[in-house]
């Protein structure tokens, strides 16, 4: 677990610092709102396509080489942004970085399932989530400030931090027993007619749809806060509050879910996601002080839902399938996470470009509320962890 957390923290540091800065760099080169939204959309489309291939790569190449190459692809290309702010160049770099990020995300969450027993998995997911959230807490709000005050090139250098995590990744690979690595890469398994892959996909649909809605909201807030809020200090404060509450939510909710089961914590977090987006839509419709306070409150509440639902949906995903399908659960969950974030970046950017940010965020609020029936009714046959 320590090696996993070091690798994750280094990898997500390189990812987080450019999540808000790369769209701004495209704007520097003349891109509009829709173009800047495409930057993270391309990143995450590449991520999703890669995530579908990671289990096969692990089976044929092994954990160590796949992790090392993935971290290199995530960390090195960002430095190339110093050469051009043209939208095409930014999109190309984003696509390559997405390959590395796809490797990092699938292997990270699959390693949690391989390393930790089911009865403490929520707590372990919380610890892993803390390693994911801390870079977002620090570097998401700091990225635009660094670019504005120290220069974009500094953020591009910071984006190479995933390379620092390669030694920890190799330690992690050596800590996983060969049979564990094979199991979670999908190798050495025999088809079981009583546990088909198609049934696993059906059981994973519910947590993934819940995850997609909240990451759509979170992705929109992360991508467009620096553009839709006039004051850089208010934008930085909002991103910090969102990152802080997301880190705390993702860290602590796992402990409670281990004790009481994850179901009861879904019900308040889903409607709260819709409330936070609606409040944000109202807050960005004007610039009065009262609306600044509303914006900060919305970011705080959204972060709590964003972090908490990440932990709960990943825990439910692992609990909904047998151990032989944990690699599938990790890949599908990560596809849902990044597909939602990409939709938040691209769809909200397109809607905002033709209407307003306020209208776009109201649409995101309605999407979140539409998933409430999934939070209310458990899926029949899901094998969720029993409370202790």
Name the percent of the chain lying above pLDDT 70.
90
Q: What is the mean pLDDT of residues 68-82?
A: 93
What is residue 302's predicted lDDT score, i.e. its pLDDT? 95
Q: 23 versus 345: which is more confidently predicted?
A: 23
Is pLDDT of 110 > 90? no
Is pLDDT of 185 > 50? no
CATH of domain 2-376: 1.20.1250.20
What is residue 287's predicted lDDT score, i.e. its pLDDT? 58
Of 42-46, 100-104, 168-172, 286-290, least confident by mean pLDDT is 286-290
Q: 145 versus 191: which is more confidently predicted?
A: 145
Of 71-80, 171-180, 254-263, 340-349, least confident by mean pLDDT is 171-180
Q: What distance in Å separates the CA atoms of residue 282 and residue 33, rounded to the nearest whole number?
A: 20
Across all residues in the chain, what is the average pLDDT?
Answer: 83
What is residue 296's predicted lDDT score, i.e. its pLDDT? 93
Is pLDDT of 195 > 70? no
Are residues 146 and 75 in contact, defined by beta-carbon separation less than 8 angstroms?
A: no
Q: 98 versus 252: which is more confidently predicted?
A: 98
Q: 193 versus 336: which is more confidently predicted?
A: 336
- Cβ-in-10-Å burial (0-12, 13-18, 19+) of 34 comes to middle
Is pLDDT of 188 > 50? no
What is residue 179's predicted lDDT score, i.e. its pLDDT? 44
Is pLDDT of 377 > 50? yes
Alpha helices, DSSP H, located in the chain: 2-28, 33-51, 54-61, 63-75, 87-115, 121-149, 152-158, 166-175, 178-185, 197-228, 232-260, 263-283, 289-319, 326-354, 357-370, 372-376
Q: Tens of pLDDT along 345-374?
A: 788 888 988 888 899 999 999 999 998 888
Q: 157 versus 321: which is more confidently predicted?
A: 157
Can you give the residue ranges of every domain in the chain? 2-376
What is residue 4's predicted lDDT score, i.e. its pLDDT? 93
Of 64-68, 75-79, 334-338, least confident by mean pLDDT is 334-338
Q: What's the angle, vertex CA 151, arms to CA 150 and CA 154, rounded to 5?
A: 85
Q: Tens of pLDDT along 118-173?
A: 777 787 888 888 888 888 778 877 888 898 889 999 999 999 999 999 999 999 98
Closest by Cα among 164, 222, 183, 204 to 324: 183
What is residue 286's predicted lDDT score, i.e. its pLDDT? 67
Is pLDDT of 112 > 60? yes
Of 152-156, 241-245, 287-291, least confident by mean pLDDT is 287-291
């Amino acid at each position: 677990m320590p090696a996993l957390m070091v690798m994750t923290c280094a990898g997500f540091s390189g990812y987080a610092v450019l999540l808000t800065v790369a769209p701004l760099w495209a704007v520097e080169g003349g891109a509009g709102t829709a173009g800047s939204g495409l930057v993270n959309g391309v990143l995450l489309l590449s991520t999703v396509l890669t995530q579908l291939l990671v289990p096969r790569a692990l089976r044929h190449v092994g954990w160590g080489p796949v992790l090392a190459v993935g971290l290199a692809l995530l960390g090195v290309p960002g430095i190339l942004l110093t050469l051009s702010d043209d939208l095409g160049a930014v999109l190309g770099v984003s696509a390559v970085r997405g390959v590395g990020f796809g490797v990092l995300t699938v292997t990270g969450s699959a390693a949690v399932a391989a390393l930790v027993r089911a009865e403490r998995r929520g707590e372990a997911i919380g610890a892993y989530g803390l390693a994911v959230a801390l870079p977002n807490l620090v570097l998401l709000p700091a990225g635009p400030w660094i670019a504005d005050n120290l220069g974009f090139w500094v953020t591009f250098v910071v984006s190479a931090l995933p390379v620092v995590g390669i030694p920890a990744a190799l330690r992690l690979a050596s800590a996983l027993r060969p049979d564990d690595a094979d199991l979670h890469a999908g190798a050495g398994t025999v088809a079981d007619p009583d546990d088909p892959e198609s049934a696993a996909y059906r059981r994973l649909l519910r947590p993934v749809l819940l995850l997609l809605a909240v990451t759509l909201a979170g992705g929109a807030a992360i991508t467009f806060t620096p553009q839709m809020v006039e004051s850089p200090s208010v934008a930085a404060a909002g991103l910090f509050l969102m990152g802080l509450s997301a880190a705390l939510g993702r860290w602590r909710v796992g402990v409670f879910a281990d004790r009481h089961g994850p179901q009861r914590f879904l019900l308040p977090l889903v409607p709260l996601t819709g409330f936070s987006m609606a409040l944000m839509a109202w807050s960005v419709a004007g610039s009065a002080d009262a609306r600044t306070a509303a914006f900060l409150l919305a970011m705080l509440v959204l972060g709590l839902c964003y972090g908490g639902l990440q932990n709960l949906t990943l825990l439910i995903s692992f609990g909904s399938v047998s151990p032989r399908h944990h690699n599938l659960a990790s890949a599908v969950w990560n596809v849902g996470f990044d597909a939602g974030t990409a939709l938040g970046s691209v769809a909200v950017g397109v809607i905002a470009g033709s209407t307003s940010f306020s209208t776009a965020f109201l649409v995101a609020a309605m999407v979140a509320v539409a998933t409430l029936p999934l939070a209310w009714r458990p899926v029949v046959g899901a094998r969720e962890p029993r409370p202790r």
